[in-house]
Structure 1
Amino acid sequence: MSFFWLKTYMPRSLYGRATLILVLPVLVLLLVVSIAFSNRHLQDVTTQMSRVVLREMTYIADSVAGAPHPEAALAALAPQLDVFEIKVRLLPPDETVPPDLVRWFDVSASAVRRTLRGTALDVVSIRLPDNREVTVVARENGQLIEYVFNRRRVTAAAPHQLIVTMLFFAALMTAISFLYMRNQLRPITRLAAAAQAFGRGQVVPYHPAGAVEVRAAGGAFLDMRARIERQIEQRTLMLSGVSHDLRTPLTRMKLELAMLDPDDAAPLVEDVDEMQRLIDEFLDFAKGTAEGEPEKTDPKELVRQVVADAARAGQPVTLVEASGEGSVMLRPLAIRRAVENLVGNALRYGNRAEVSVALTDKSLRIRVEDDGPGIPPELRAEAVKPFSRLDPARNQNKGGGVGLGLAIVSDIARAHGGLLRLSESEALGGLRADIVIGR
């Protein structure tokens, strides 16, 4: 039998699941103990006490109904009635007797009624309207006799005292356990918050704490974060150093080519320009995720500036949608570079581009669409890899780079805890590139 359907009703958070694990057994135990106490202990005690009162009522009924003068016999029983603590009254034979009255939630009252009715005494009516008195009307040899006695004669003084005590101490111990559990879970939530922030490109202070296992996981996370930061720093320094070193010979080559005949030097100039673009993309790739610190940024205003700059440069770019309000923790320069790369890529292979921004409570989406040839679905995963050129000849003819444009965008999106999604544009028919970042 599969229990996967239970996952739908399970809490998603660690606090919720830990609370359920803590509270559910306590509730089940209280329910079982309460039912056992109600069905066995409480009802057994009530039955025994009711049988004692029943024998006294039977004795009174036999003494009164068998006497020639019931009133005189009842008066003679007065000293015993005081001992029994029972008030007895003779009713006329034609007296209208009210029906039974037992509250539905009164467990002990139901046990009293079952005990008194399950005997030879002809009980006509049993009324337990409250916790003070019990009224019983019985018929003996045609004589109606009314018995009135204290409720404590047939039920315990505080029948639910044990249950109330258990509930109180269960709530108290559950609260104490929850406070202790919260202190134990707090280091785990801090570790999760630090890991989530690092996945979004933010470094928050974190010190391992808590149990031994949590401390070990926290120390491993700090070591991993330090290694990743060193790797990114080394990659940035290496690419930047190589790119800067290549600029010097390129500059000399440009000067030498300028002294040659323009017709003879034209092919070499194109090669040098291609190398210059390669170096520029190396620098962009190296700086892609290391430009500035995360800060609160209005993504709509940032994208508006990118579109406005492109429009001033005469490029056919329009902002078609900008929905949502609020700010997001972003590296503005890196996001700006990513949007500019997508716009440049769209105009390189298409005639126009459309940009949209959608900001919700859970995510930020920046979309760039074009009317170009697009990218086939089977090649989209390859397109975001560094130095991947799906069509080198086409890139060269249209002033393309070396296959780092989409890789830079993907790297920037991942540094913000998001991703780059490529699909087909329904509006323009070309490529649709979405930068999706969680808030």
Structure 2
Amino acid sequence: MTPRNLKYPLPRSLFPRAMLIVIVPLIALQLVVAFVFFQRHFEGVTRQMTRNIARELAVAQQVIDTSPTAEIAQLRLTNLSQPLEIALSLRAEELRPGAHRRDLFDLSGRALVAEMADLLGGQLQIDLAADRRQVDVRLQTDKGVLRAVIPRSRMTVSNPHQLLVLMTATALVLAVIALLFMRNQMKPILQLANAADAFGKGRSVPYRPAGAEEVRRAGAAFLSMRQRIERAMEQRTQMLSGVSHDLRTPLTRMKLSLAMADAMPEAREMERDVEQMEQMLNSFLAFARGDQMDEVEDVHLPALLEEMAEQARRGGGCVETDIRLEPAELPTATLRRAALARALQNLLSNATRYGSRTRLSLRTTPRAVQFIVEDDGPGVPVDRREEVMRPFIRLDSARNQDRGGGVGLGLAIAQDVARAHGGALELSDSEALGGLKAVLRLPR
């Protein structure tokens, strides 16, 4: 596996990664300590105890060699068994040298067999598997096979279960302490991430830098950035509001003058021009107020959808609705109702202006909400869909301007509303109606 691929098995979140950094070395240390201890405990101590037994078996072998007959040797072995605490016997059987038996994971047994073979020679057969509480040793002599049955406890120490339990408990306690410490260290980072995410969705939640020095510095930088952005948005809104106020005064005078000059043939045309200028001014203000949105609230999605569709029908549009909720028992979402209504109104206005048939659909999942507006109009070329969502962009060749006034802010306002909620506005072709399909996707 290349270093480039090593990053993929790692957890995506910072907290599990930090826990891995703590727990993996802890486990590695425990394994190293256990390996070193067990190696010395089993092999070192087992070899020393085995040497003592080997000396006693050497004495028994010497007794056999000095006995004139096998019967006398057996009698002497019987008398020797009690003081040595070893069951000694002389058997007339065939020995299979080297045919030792032990369990696969019997670490102390491996050291025992190796030490006995070094001390007593190759004419030896040891069985550790028949009875785990005993060691069956068979040694070839000139008068037969010497069999010695030795308690296992005299040749190897018992497994240190208490030490294993202590090591495991210590590792668990250290892991819990590390978990609590890392959780406490992660809280300021999560608070900063939540504050930044909320600000990206247009909400200004209370935040106070805390935690380590580096996290505090990042939090202070975020607060400074948030203040500068909010100040810039406020200045922009105030400037455009002032411009609006200055422009509305002469527009109002013109409307009054035109109302008093109904007899003039040009009065109606000039009045329409004034109304269009006022509509353009309202669009500018709506776009300027895009960042200064209302507070979030629980919005009943099907009711909002039907309300917007009915409003478009009153304006002369042919609008059908399609609602699909998943799960059905969650018809509400926490959104900015006025801003969302303004975005849907702009999308429906575009759809009814350039198409004869419009469909407004609602799709919900536990994590997202989708408002889909489709029409049967001429649509928008694929290579210009990103461009058309920028402010003051109008595609007159594709969406005929003669069908209604507009300043190119409808899609820009809808996109701003989507981004303020942490969502997005996507344009594509409508498979059902053949025109433009606008999907306003918002997180719940």
Check whether TM > 0.5: yes
Unaligned runs of 5+ in 2: none
Are residues 252 and 309 of structure 1, via their aligned partners in 2, closer, same or farther at CA, if it must alter by over 3 Å? same
1:341 Cα deviation (Å)?
Answer: 0.9
CA RMSD of aligned residues (A): 3.0
CA distance in 2, matches of 1:396, 1:244: 28
Unaligned runs of 5+ in 1: none
Matched with 2:370 is: 365
Partners of 1:232 and 1:402 lie apart in 2 by 22
Taking the aligned partners of 2:417 and 2:365, their CA distance within structure 1 comes to: 20
Indicate yes or no: 2:412 matched with 1:407.
yes
Question: Per-residue deviation at 1:76?
Answer: 4.0
Q: List aligned pairs for 1:285-434, cutoff 5 A.
A: 285-325=287-327, 326=330, 327-391=332-396, 396-434=401-439
Q: Secondary structure at the match of 2:6?
A: helix
**Distance change in 2, residues 1:271/1:157 (3 Å):** same
**Structure 1 position 50 matched with structure 2 position 50:** yes
The letter for the 2-side match of 1:179 is: L
Q: CA deviation at 1:40?
A: 5.6
TM superposition shift of 1:260: 4.2
**Is 1:4 aligned with 2:4?**
yes
Which residue in 2 is equivalent to 1:109?
109
Distance 2:66 2:309 in 1: 111
* Deviations 1:38-81 (CA, angstroms, capped at 9, x unpaired): 45663243234323322322321332365235454455456754
Corresponding residue number in structure 1 for 2:267: 265
SS in 2 for 1:198: helix
Q: Does the residue aligned with 1:239 lie in a helix, a strand or coil? A: helix
Per-residue deviation at 1:216? 1.2
The amino acid that maps onto 2:147 is: E
Distance in 2 (CA, whole Å) between partners of 1:409 and 1:83 is 99
Cα 1:121–1:78 change in 2 (3 A) is farther
Q: 1:160 to 1:428 in 2, by over 3 A?
A: same
SS at match of 1:7: coil
Deviation per residue, 1:95-117 (Å, 9 max, x gap):
99xx8653332211232234335
Cα separation, 2, equivalents of 1:144 and 1:65? 12
Is the CA contact (8 Å cut-off) linking 1:139 and 1:145 kept in structure 2? yes
Shift, 1:295, TM fit? 1.9
- Which shifted more, 111-120 or 196-205? 111-120
Farther off after superposition, 126-135 or 170-179 = 126-135
Matches within 5 A, 1:54-133: 54-64=54-64, 66-70=66-70, 72-76=72-76, 81-91=81-91, 93=93, 102-117=102-117, 119-120=120-121, 122-128=123-129, 132-133=133-134
Relative to the length of structure 2, the TM-score reads 0.87
TM-fit CA distance, 1:317: 1.3
Report the counterpart of residue 211 of structure 1 in structure 2: 212
Residue 77 of structure 2 contacts residue 89 of structure 2 at CA under 8 Å; is this kept in 1?
A: no
User: Corresponding residue for 1:18?
Assistant: 18
Q: What's the CA shift string for 1:366-386, capped at 9, x where partnerless?
A: 221222222223322222222
1:300-320 alpha-carbon deviations (Å, 9 max, x no partner): 432233223333554211123
Amino acid of the residue matched to residue 277 of structure 1? Q
Give SS of 2:284's match.
helix
Partner of 1:155: 156
Q: CA deviation at 1:396?
A: 4.4
State the TM-score, normalized to the length of structure 1: 0.88
Distance 2:71 2:303 in 1: 102
Q: Is the 8 A contact 1:424 1:431 kept in 2?
A: yes
In structure 2, distance between residues paired with 1:82 and 1:245: 119
Taking a change above 3 Å as real, the CA distance of residues 121 and 101 of structure 1, as seen in their structure-2 partners, is: closer
